[in-house]
Amino acid sequence: MDYASISSNLLYVAFIAYLVATFFFGGAIRDKRAAQKKTKWATFGIAVTIIGFIAQIGYFITRWIASGHAPVSNLFEFTTFFGMMLVGAFIVIYFIYRLSMLGLFALPVALLIIAYASMFPTEITPLVPALQTNWLHIHVTTAATGEAVLSISFVAGLIYLIKTIDQSKRNKKAFWLEFILYTLISTLGFVAVTLTFNAAHYESSFNWVNKSGEQEQVVYHMVPLVGPHQSEWTDGNDIQPLIDMPAIINAKKLNTVIWSLGGGFVLYWLIRLILRKRIGAALQPLVKQVNSDLLDEVSYRAVAIGFPIFTLGALIFAMIWAQMAWTRFWGWDPKEVWALITFLFYAAFLHLRLSKGWHGEKSAWLAVGGFAIIMFNLVAVNLIIAGLHSYA
Amino acid sequence: MKHVKCECGHVNPHGTILCEACGKPIAEETTDKLVDMRYEGSARRSQTYNKTVIDKIWNFFSSVKVGIWIIIVTLVASAVGTIYPQEAYIPPNVTADEYYQKEYGWTGELYYKLGFHHLYESWWYLLLIAALGMSLVICSLDRVVPLYRALKKQSVTKHPNFLKRQRLYSTSSSWTDQDYEHVKSMLKKRRYSIREENGNLLAEKGRFSRWGPYVNHIGLIIFLLGAMLRFVPGMYIDEVLWIREGETKVIPGTNGEYFLKNHRFTVETYDKDSESAVFQEAIDRAGNNKVAKKYEADVSLYKREGKLIPGADPKLKKIKDSEIRVNQPLKFEGYAMYQVDFKLNEFSSMSFHLTDKNANRNVGSLTVDLHNPKETYDLKNGYKVKLMSYFPDFFFDDEGNPNTKTRVPNNPAFVFKMITPQHKKGEVAFVGIRENLEPLGNNDYKMTFAGVETKNVTGLTVRRDYTLWFLGIGGAIFMIGVIQGMYWNHRRMWIQKVNNEIWLAAHTNKNWYGLKKELNGLLESTSLTQLKDQNDKETK
């Protein structure tokens, strides 16, 4: 077996380990004996998590050997690495606070991220000249690690919100909490829809007219709900789009988004019908044992640890590399700007906490907001805004 | 200015909230609420004076609330600038007013009209950054001096009211002296510095982490100043140098001191046959030889010797041979040259035969250097070709006359005068790519295209940026400050005898969980009561 295939097998192992560990942590919190002390379930949970983490480090190293460069050079590799560091950050925080509950939520988030990553081309890509430097792994890994630690803050904040938000009646907060959960489920929707169409080998080609009036070709791998501007079917599965989009809109991406949100919607309501209540309300009893102050502390601590790492990786190292590769340390490229926005957001978070006393629920909402910005920078800036960083 | 004397005897500056020495709340209110420990309850200028205009400006910028608003407005403004590409990133061959409208419709037009296409250079964005800088300086100064005073002047013995209103607090009515000594030695072991006074104790560690925020703010200020330095003449040079293979050119921005010769410029792409098996799939997806592997200019750097004499060729001394690649700029004397652009296969010379049309026989041939054409090409035996006009980048202008768009030989065209023994005065031919006109009637001779030579051109950026040092130092100080403030915390514990009881209180600026765990760990083997978090309403 060559390194490349060892590598992908190790990633499977890691994925399955995280899945198994999630169930162990689920068992740990059901264990009535103790909420925060060591139980067998929690010990198994963290052990399996560490096994998964080691397997994923194995994936990382073998893929590095196979390709000759750090596997953080395209969207799949970067996002997978981000998922790995999220697990790593969880392990560290777990050993500080011994909070099983965190595992029950952090691991599924990591699983979603890795699954999402795998929907993009996974083959090993050679490096374009701009990426051929050690700064590739220095900058990208540090930035991803910082973001991963900051994401732990989101996980703790989310648990805090699930625990404390009043679920007894309809209200704005309960709605937005459901919205967060729905967004997470939509990621699952995206994965499910993509896997389904891939399994069916769905493919259909269209000619369309772009905004300059020129004819172009596009290949859909999902049933076209929305087609490109003046689309004309040419090849493959013969299903016509319901409606054509104007030339300004990238119809193929919009189609994927609609499918993912739709898939998420179906999943969400399926779960909700089974539970017969809001998902937040169903999760609430599970988390009631955790101390809110501890959650708040974990959420804040993760920002305190993650913020310097993020600044170092995503701003300082980024500037050093940009100076070398692009001749200037700062060029207002969208990805750069969104790293700055993330920095400013967490700076505001820290100041609000230190000076205005935004603890507890307010702080938890901010942690969610910060994660939303990180995800926006990861997903939307790469796929929609596209600047110098859109290698994927 | 009025000073306030506390009952412990310490004289506090006007505006103090908690006595600098004993911590007694100065404006005494009888409440059980926890004391507000921010900045140790010291007298901040902004909270004390509000008379002159300077006071008012100071007070405005000293507010963290204002600072947070500036951060948030900057954040939102920055995000707006990423909705559509900035002007710097739009294609070079279109103007901004057409581009945004054409690409993005009316929203694009609005974006352009509002000036968001160069948002980050706009006066109001720069003003925001300036306000952020002001806020940083004033917020820090307003707090750091009184905080320093308060921490320096704190006494061991505290006012009971201060102790019982700390977040972590406990009272014990029975204890032994051994307990006290045990806790004291354990605190020492955990690297607390201990001060004692009348059987009361103050243990403290990590005070330096309190300065973290101010250190990182200094770093940020240096960074922002460094960014402004770019506007100081001489600090920043940014030039472009296009240089053809075989050419030697003066490097712009060096005052004619340095010269660069381009020996060769190469582009390599990923080829299926020569790359290892793991890349095959990726190359297939992108297309064979579609993904760039290397951009490299083989160059030599020269330094001019002696004085610059206009008209004469400068005397050059070679400094070094080097390759310039992406990510590997050529550095010398504070300058850096970067590989940023290129042009492949630019015409460099064209060859022609002079052909006798009637006999269909070539009577001689010549090569025109497209960058440095000669006036006359002597083909011997009475044959001669004169170059009457040369258009490197030929087109017909508005009046229908031949003209040239640029000095770059993208589409060379020539007007030749062919002098032959039969036509001593010469025949005129207009020759371009796929064009051969005889504007003055039928000729007996013609210029036949015989071949073309091409060369690659590399586009380099020349930079000298003396501000980088400043920025680097600012960044380093920022990182030190942020780590100092985030990865350490300032912990204090007070042990005090009050009315036959022993009172314990503790404070930290962050990580309460860690402090509580640490201190209660120490108390475990003693008869002293464990510290309780008075904020915690959940655990009993």
Model confidence pLDDT, tens digit, residues B88-137: 888 888 888 888 888 888 888 999 999 999 999 999 999 999 999 999 99
Alpha-carbon gap, residue B150 to B18, rounded angstroms: 9
User: Would an 8 Å CB–CB cutoff place A5 in contact with chain B?
Assistant: no
Every domain of chain A and the residues it spans: 3-167+289-385, 169-276
What's the pLDDT tens digit per position in A325-358? 888 899 898 889 999 999 999 999 999 988 777 8
* Residue bearing tokens 């309190």: B210
Give A324's contacts in chain B (Cβ within 8 Å). Answer: 327-329
The confidence score (pLDDT) of residue B136 equals 92
Q: What is the ipTM of this complex?
A: 0.90
- Which of helix, strand or coil describes residue B216? helix
Mean pLDDT of A8-25: 95
b or e along A296-313 (b: 16 or more beta carbons within 10 Å of the residue's beta carbon)? bbbbbbbbbbbbbbbbbb
Distances (CA, A) of A327 to A331, B261, B462, B464: 10, 21, 9, 10
Alpha-carbon gap, residue A143 to A312, rounded angstroms: 7
Give A126's contacts in chain B (Cβ within 8 Å). Answer: 270, 275, 279, 282-283, 291, 293
CB A342 within 8 A of CB B71: no
**Structural domains in chain B plus CATH codes:** 4-151 (no CATH), 156-206+489-533 (3.30.310.80), 236-345+459-468 (no CATH), 350-445 (no CATH)
Mutation target vs A (from B35, B38, B64, B71; most A CBs, 10 A cutoff) = B71
- Structure tokens given for B403: 């003209």
**pLDDT value at B35 more than 90:** no
Beta carbons of A319 and B475 less than 8 Å apart: yes
- Residue B62 — pLDDT band, cuts 50, 70, 90? confident
The confidence score (pLDDT) of residue B29 equals 61
Task: Render B399-416 in DSSP notation, one character per residue.
Answer: TS-EEES-SS-SB-EEEE
**pLDDT value at A248 more than 80:** no
Name which of A121, A128, A332 is nearest B285 (Cβ-Cβ). A121
What's the pLDDT tens digit per position in B274-332? 888 888 888 888 888 888 899 999 999 999 888 777 777 788 899 999 999 999 999 99
Question: Where do the DSSP E strands lie in A141-213?
Answer: 204-209
Closest chain A residue to B341, measured at CA = A326
Beta carbons of A67 and B325 less than 8 Å apart: no
DSSP B393: B
User: Would an 8 Å CB–CB cutoff place A121 in contact with chain B?
Assistant: yes
Mean pLDDT of B47-69: 85
What's the pLDDT tens digit per position in B197-210? 888 999 999 999 99
- The percent helix, strand, coil of chain B (3-state, each to 5) is 35, 35, 35
Name which of A307, A337, A348 is nearest B81 (Cβ-Cβ). A337
Of the two residues B9 and A372, the one the predictor is more confident about is A372
- Structure tokens given for A355: 């000076």
User: Would an 8 Å CB–CB cutoff place A288 in contact with chain B?
Assistant: no
Task: Kindly give the pairing relationship between strand A226-227 and strand A243-244.
Answer: parallel
Selected residues 141-200 of chain A with any CB under 8 Å from a CB in chain B: none
Count Cα neighbours of B531 within 13 Å in the Cβ-side half-sphere: 29
What φ, ψ does residue B498 adopt, rounded to 5°?
-130, 120
Distances (CA, A) of A123 to A5, A18, A35: 11, 23, 43
Name which of B103, B294, B486 is nearest A129 (Cβ-Cβ). B294
Question: Where do the DSSP E strands lie in B36-97?
Answer: none
- Residue A243 — pLDDT band, cuts 50, 70, 90? confident
Closest chain B residue to A74, measured at CA = B282
- Residue B58 — pLDDT band, cuts 50, 70, 90? confident
Closest chain A residue to B512, measured at CA = A297
Q: Structure pTM?
A: 0.90
Give B483's contacts in chain A (Cβ within 8 Å). Answer: 308
A362: left (phi over 0), alpha (psi -120 to 50) or beta: alpha
Alpha-carbon gap, residue B245 to B263, rounded angstroms: 5
